A and B are shown apart, each in its own frame.
Chain A
Amino acid sequence: MTAELGLILLLIAAALAALQFGLGAISLRNPQAGGHASIKPVAVLQGIAVALSFLCLIWVFLETDLSVKLVAANSHPDKPLLYKFAGAWGNHEGSMLLWVTVLGIAGGAVALFEKRLKVTSLTATLAAQAAISIGFYAFLLFASNPFERLNPAPETGQGLNPLLQDPGLAFHPPTLYFGYVGMSVAFSFAVGALITREVGPTFARAMRPWVLIAWIFLTLGIVAGSYWAYYELGWGGWWFWDPVENASLMPWLATTALLHSVTVLATRDGLRAWTVMLAVVAFSMSMVGTFLVRSGILTSVHAFAVDPKRGAFILALLALYIGGALTLFGLRIGTVREGNRFDPLSREGALVANNLLLSAILGIVMVGTLYPLIAESLTGEKLSVGPPYFNATTGPLALILVAVMAAGPVLRWRRDEWSAMARRLALPILFGAAALLAVVLSAPGIGILPLLGLVLAIGVGAASLAPLWKRNLRRTPLFTWGMVISHLGVAISMAGMASESAFTKETLTAVTVGETRSVGPWSVTLKEVHPVAGPNWTAMEGAMEARRGSTLIASATQARMFASPPTETNEAAISTVWDGQLYLVLGKHQPDGRWQVRMWWKPFVTLIWLGGILIALGGLLAMIGRLRRELKPKGEAA
C-alpha cells in the first residue's frame, strides 16, 4: 500500500501547489481577499506532502517491493541496504521526485522563514514557486510516475547500475539537487519582485541567504561529484567536461555571478536589472541541466533512460518557465529605475568584471555543451565537443577572473585610485613574482596555463587574505571571513588543478606478480592478486606496495564483477600522502599471465577538492554572518 499512499500524497501535493498558485494570483489581483494569510500554510503543507511522498518511495525501495515497476527495474533484493536507500533516486523517476521534493521543501521554507520581504512580494514569490512545482508535478504524474505497479510482480529486480553502487550516491545527488533546485527560490524571488515592482536593496538582502544556501549545496555537490568520478571511474581525471558535469557547472557559474551582483544591489543599490536577470538565468540553467540529464539525449551514467516523450515534456516546461520569466522581465524592466552609479575602478566595477567574466565562461560552456545537440538537429551532423575546446576557452578567462578576484576585495565602494590598489596588492604581487621565479627555475618545461595558474594561485592566495590586514580579527564580521575563506579556497583549488596538470606522472604497463615499476618518485610492486567477494559482487584484488625513500604504502585495487546487471567496475587504490595522491588501477588479466596496471602520481591533487570545500565553508560563514546581522535589529535572532 505504500506505493499507493505515495501516489496519493503526490496528488495532494500537486493539488496544493495549484491552490497555492491560485491563492497567490487572486490576492495579487485583489489584495483585500485575504489570500496573503493563507498562502503560507498551503506552501508549507505542499512541502510536507511531497516530502512524505518521497519518503514512501524510499520505503518501497528499502523493502524492495518488486511489484513497483521502478523498484523492479532498478533494485535487487541482494543489494546492500545503503544502495536500496540511495537507489530510490538512482533512476529517472526517483530523481525527478527528489527534484520536486526539493522544490516543495524550498517553497515551504520560504513561507516559514522569510520575514523580511514585503507581504505582496512574498505572495508573488510563493505563487511563482507553485507555478514551477505544478509543471513538474504534471511531468511526474503524466510522464514519469515513480509509483507505477507491475502485475504480476517479477521474481527479482534488475539491479542498480554498479557504477552508482558507491557511498557517493547517498551524498552527491541530494546535495546537488538542493543546490540546483534551491535556485528556484531566487528565480521565484525575482519573478515576485518583478510582479510587485520591488527590485531594491530589501529584495536583495532577503534573497541573499537563499542564494547562498543553494550555492553552498551546489558547490559541495560539484566537489563531491568530481571526487566521485575521480575515484570511481578509474580514469585518473577529476573533471571530464562531460555534458552532465557542465549541466551542474552552468548553474554554479550563474549563481556565483548572482551572489556577487546581489551584494552590489544590497549594499549600494546598483545593478538592479542585471541581478534580477541573473536570478532568472541561474535557475534556467538548473532547468536546462535537468533537461540535458533527464531527457536521455546524452550518453552518460546519469542518463538513465531514453524516452523522447519525456525530453519533449521537459523541453516544453523549460520553454514555458524561461520564456515566461524573460517576457515578464522584458515587460517590467523598463519600470526598474537605474541604480546608483560608480567609477569603473571600484568594488562595484570589479564585481561587474566578475559578473561579465563568469557570464562569458557560462556562455562558452553552454555553447560547447549544446552545440553538438543543435548541430545534429539542424544538419544531422554528429559531433562532440571535449576537453580541448573547454580548456582552451575557459582556461584563460578563468585566470583573468581569478586575477580580478585578487583586486576586488581590496577596492573601495564607488571609487578608488589605481595607486592605492597597487599599494594594497604590493605584497601579493611580490608573492606571485617569487612563485614565478621558483616555478620557472624548478620546472622549466611547464606549460603556460599551469604556470600562470600556479603563479596566480600563490598571488591570489596572499591577496585573498588582504582584507584582513590591519583589522582586529575578532571584530571582523563573519561575512568578511566568509569571503576571505572562499577566495582562499579558489586559490587553493587552482593551485591543485595547476599542479595536477603540470606535474602528474603516468605509467601504463603489464606486470607479473612480484614485478616492480616506477611512477614519478615511487616504485610500485604488484605483491599478489587474489579473489575477494562482496555482498553483490566478486573481485580480483591486486595488493600493491609503493615505496618512496623510506615511505612504504600498501594498498589494494579491485576489478569488480557485478552479477546483476552483469557489469565490471574498477576500484582504484588511492593513497593520500601530504604532497599528493598515488592512484593505482588494476586492469585486465592478459592471456600470458600478466596484469595490466595503470599508475598515476598526482602531486597536490587533493588541493582541488580541499579548496572546493573551503569555498563552500566560506559561503556558510557568509550566510551565518548575514543572517545574524540582519535579524538582530529586529530582535528575531534566536
Chain B
Amino acid sequence: MKAKNQRLTLILVAVAAMIGAALLAMSALKDEAAYFYSPADLAAARPSADQALRLGGMVADKSIKREADGVTITFMVTDGKAQTPVRFKGIAPDLFKENSGVVAEGKLGADGVFVADNILAKHDERYMPPQMDGKMHKTGKVE
C-alpha cells in the first residue's frame, strides 16, 4: 500500500465497516423487532397483521380449549383489563397452564385472534418474565 499513513487508512476502513454494520443492524431492527403487548395494549393499538409481536399476560381461568387434531389449542390471555384469544399449534411448554404467566410470540390475525408460533411460560415468580413483571407490579427493574 502506497498510502502515506496506513494506520489512518485502516482506521477509516474500520469506521466504515462499523457504520455499515450499524446501518444493517438498524434497518433489520426496524423490520424484525417484536414489540411486547398486553391484551389491553393490543386492543388499543391494533398493530398490522404482518407485524411480529409478543403478547404477555396470564392464561385466563378455564379458557384452554383443544381442537380435534390434538395439537392445536386456543386460550385467552388476560391482563385484568382486556382479553385476547390466542391460537397455538404445537406442544405447549411444560409450565403452560391456566392462571399462570405466559408470553406468546406470533402475529395478530385479521379476525382478532393472535396466532402464536411459540409460547413461553413461567411457573412462578422466580421465573416470571421481566416484561410481565413490569406490567404487573412496578418492581424488579434495573435502573
Residues of A bordering B, CB below 8 Å = 234, 273-274, 295-299, 301, 305-306, 308, 311-312, 315, 338, 341-344, 352, 356-357, 359-361, 363-364, 367-368, 371-372, 376-377, 381-386, 388-389, 392-393, 397, 508-510, 559, 565-570, 585, 587-588, 590-592, 594, 596, 598
**Top 4 nearest A-B pairs by Cβ distance?**
A510-B70, A382-B36, A568-B94, A360-B21
B32 partner, pick from A386, A559, A588, A598, beta carbons under 8 A:
A386
B36 close to A368 (CB less than 8 A): no
B123 to chain A, nearest CB (A): 6
CB distance A585 to B91 under 8 Å?
A: yes
Contact of A508 among B25, B71, B95 (CB under 8 A): B71
> Interface of chain B, helix or strand or loop or mixed?
mixed
Residues of chain A with a CB closer than 8 A to B6's CB: 338, 341-342
Closest to B38 in A: A382
Interchain CB contact under 8 A, A363 and B143? no
Instruction: Point out the residue from A301, A306, A363, A509 that lies within 8 Å of B25, measured CB to CB.
Output: A363
Contact indicator B24/A393 (Cβ below 8 Å): yes
Chain A residues near B129 (CB, 8 Å)?
299
- Taking a contact as CB atoms under 8 Å apart, the answer to whether A305 and B140 are in contact is no
A305 adjacent to B126 (CB under 8 Å): yes
- Identify the closest chain A residue to B70 (Cβ): A510
B120 contacts A by Cβ under 8 Å = yes
Tell me the bound Cα distance from A341 to B21 in angstroms.
Answer: 26
What are the residues of chain B within 8 A of A306 when measuring CB–CB?
A: 128, 130, 133, 140
| Cα distance, A65 to B118, chains bound together (Å) | 40
B10 within 8 A of A: yes
Q: B111 near A: Cβ within 8 Å?
A: no
> Which residues of B90-114 are within 8 A (CB) of A?
90-92, 94-95, 103, 105
Q: Decide if B94 touches A371 in the complex (CB within 8 Å).
A: no
Contact partners of A273 in chain B: CB under 8 A: 7
Q: Identify A356's interface contact among B14, B25, B120, B139, CB under 8 A.
A: B14
Supplied contacts A344-B1, A367-B29, A389-B28, 5 more A-B pairs, CB within 8 Å: A296-B140, A297-B141, A338-B5, A357-B17, A568-B95
Known: A356-B14, A392-B28, A594-B70. A308 touches B142 (CB 8 A): yes
Residue pair A386, B141 in contact (C-beta under 8 Å)? no
* Chain B neighbourhood of A311, CB < 8 A: 142
> Is there an interface contact between B130 and A368, defined as CB atoms closer than 8 Å?
no
Q: A274 vs B131: C-alpha distance in the bound complex, in angstroms?
A: 38
Is A368's CB under 8 angstroms from B69's CB?
no
Q: Are A587 and B91 in contact (CB under 8 A)?
A: yes
Q: Do residues A383 and B33 form an inter-chain contact, with CB atoms below 8 A?
A: yes
In whole angstroms, what is the CA distance A386 to B133 when docked? 20
Known contacts A298-B130, A508-B89; A363/B52 CB under 8 A = no
Could you say which of B70, B123, B126 has the most chain A C-beta atoms within 10 Å of its C-beta? B70
Q: Known contacts A338-B7, A385-B32, A389-B29; is A509 also within 8 Å of B140 by CB?
A: no
Chain B, Cβ-Cβ closest to A415: B1
B71 shortest CB reach to chain A, Å: 5
Q: Which residues of B contact A559 (CB under 8 A)?
A: 94
Q: A383-B33, A567-B94 are in contact. Are A352 and B10 (CB under 8 A)?
A: yes
Contacts of A367 in B (CB 8 A): 22, 25-26, 29
For A352, list chain B residues within 8 Å (CB).
10, 13
Cross-chain pairs A/B with CB under 8 angstroms, 20 sampled: A306-B140, A311-B142, A342-B6, A352-B13, A359-B18, A360-B21, A371-B29, A383-B33, A383-B35, A384-B33, A385-B29, A393-B24, A508-B89, A565-B124, A567-B123, A587-B91, A590-B70, A592-B70, A596-B70, A596-B71
- Which chain B residues border A382 with CB–CB below 8 Å? 35-36, 54, 131, 134
Bound state CA distance, A431 and B74, in angstroms? 50
A393 touches B1 (CB 8 A): no
Q: Write out the residue numbers on chain A whose beta carbons fall within 8 Å of the beta carbon of B29.
A: 367-368, 371, 385, 389
Q: Do residues B71 and A384 form an inter-chain contact, with CB atoms below 8 A?
A: no
- Chain B residue nearest to A297 in the complex (CB): B142
Q: Which of A306, A359, A367 neighbours the largest number of chain B CB atoms within 10 Å of its CB?
A: A306
Residues of chain B lying within 8 A (CB to CB) of residue A295: 142
How long is the Cα–Cα vector from A590 to B89 in the complex, in angstroms? 14
8 Å CB interface, B4-60 against A: 5-7, 10, 13-14, 17-18, 20-22, 24-26, 28-29, 31-36, 52, 54
User: What chain B residues lie within 8 Å of A569 (beta carbons)?
Assistant: 94
Evaluate contact between B24 and A364: CB separation under 8 angstroms: yes
B143 touches A308 (CB 8 A): yes
Given contacts A298-B130, A367-B29, contact A274 B143 (CB under 8 A): no
Q: How far is the CA of A368 from the CA of B14 in the complex (A)?
A: 20
A66–chain B nearest beta-carbon distance, Å: 19
